[in-house]
Amino acid sequence: MTTQQPRFTYEALPMRVVFGAGSLAQLPQEARGLGLRRLLVLSTHGQRSLAENAATLLGDACAGIFAEARMHVPADIAAKALQAARDTGADGCVAIGGGSTIGLGKAIALKSGLPVVSVPTTYAGSEMTPIWGLTEGGRKQTGRDRSVLPRSVLYDPELTLSLPVDVSVTSGFNAIAHAVEALYAPDASPVISLMAEEGVRSLAAALPAVAAAPRDLDARTEALHGAWLCGSCLGATTMSLHHKLCHILGGTFDLPHAPTHTVLLPYVAAFNLPAAPDAERALRRALATDDVPEQLARVAAELGAPRSLAELGLTEHDLAEVIAQAQSRPYANPRPAPADALRTLLTDALHGTLAH
């Protein structure tokens, strides 16, 4: 009997993770352990109170607060934050919040080399990746650089208890998308595939429980555990068609990041999984279903997520530009994505055919 022997390369990223309820209290200790004495605390305007809490914990080690993080990390905001870090004499940053704030911390690290401590409050997973993104002139540029990896990540489920259910659901599906693409990435490995399957399983179990009881700490802990695993998968593998399309839809059309991932994921899965049977089998196990795309669309809809790209503001007229950008610099994908196939996929997602 002859079997194909596996061949893969796995490279672990240098990450320190502190996980558990109440972990935010360890922020001063983590900063001292990294030799940081003046930290600029980053947040969105809406989460300034959380930034102030972090600043209080840091005491004299807080250099100031920059509460202007925005979705898709506009280049002008990143430049303003970098100048704030320089003006305050910061020797590091604390990024406390969701993907927008974590992304801003990465932009500062990319330009300055300043170390970042991340305290995620959603399930986006950006804190576990060396992937950075900047948006300028209607285009979102992304790249990989280990210099943007946070030096330490504090996962505190208590910080997610007040996360609105709608944000929790779409943020969770954003994380699931990371794992789905990791399963069919060209640089997948057995370690990452195991993490991806478990991450999807954890989030698929936790999100309905979170929706039913948003302040259930056990459910929140399980969801954050899944997000950590899914983010780790994204950090270790190559992005594919799903992420390419989401970057275009966010960077050019300013569609909201997590809802866009949520709406689009079932349609990209339906397109790619026939060419990725191992990934499909793993997702069937994780989701306890024989129809992965249908299950993803159904559960998202049942939990109140948007059902179509049209709901998010995309129009039929926009599809030509999305297709043109997707084909100009394509990401690795398990099967080719010609223009006609992309138009079918995007038209279905525009109208939410699977969700109905």
Q: Is the pLDDT of residue 142 over 90?
A: no
Q: What percent of the chain has pLDDT over 70?
A: 99
pLDDT for the residue numbered 3: 59
Q: Is the pLDDT of residue 346 over 60?
A: yes
The contacts of residue 224 (CB under 8 Å, 6+ apart) are: 19, 120, 123, 155, 157, 160
Q: Is residue 165 a contact partner of residue 123, using CB atoms and an 8 Å limit?
A: no
**DSSP for residue 10:** -
Condensed to tens digits (0 to 9), the pLDDT of residues 35-54 reads 999 999 999 999 999 999 99
* Of the listed ranges 137-141, 235-239, 281-285, the one predicted with least confidence: 137-141
- This prediction has a pTM of 0.92
130: number of Cβ within 10 Å: 18
- In this predicted model, which residue has the larger pLDDT, 351 or 329? 351
Condensed to tens digits (0 to 9), the pLDDT of residues 74-108 reads 999 999 999 999 999 999 999 999 999 999 999 99
β-pairing verdict for 152-155 and 17-19: parallel
Condensed to tens digits (0 to 9), the pLDDT of residues 154-206 reads 999 999 999 999 999 999 999 999 999 999 999 999 999 999 999 999 999 99
The mean predicted confidence, pLDDT, of the chain is 95
Number of residues assigned to the chain: 356
φ and ψ of 96, to 5 deg: -120, 115
Confidence grade of residue 2 (pLDDT, cut at 50, 70, 90)? low
Domain regions of the chain by residue span: 17-160, 165-351
pLDDT for the residue numbered 11: 77
- In this predicted model, which residue has the larger pLDDT, 130 or 212? 212
Q: What percent of the chain has pLDDT over 90?
A: 89
Q: Is the pLDDT of residue 5 over 70?
A: no
Q: Is the pLDDT of residue 273 over 60?
A: yes
Looking at domain 17-160, its CATH architecture is: 3-Layer(aba) Sandwich (3.40)
Q: Tell me yes or no: is domain 165-351 CATH 3.40.50.460.
A: no
Q: How far is CA 165 from CA 20, 123, 159, 213, 296, in A?
A: 21, 12, 14, 9, 17
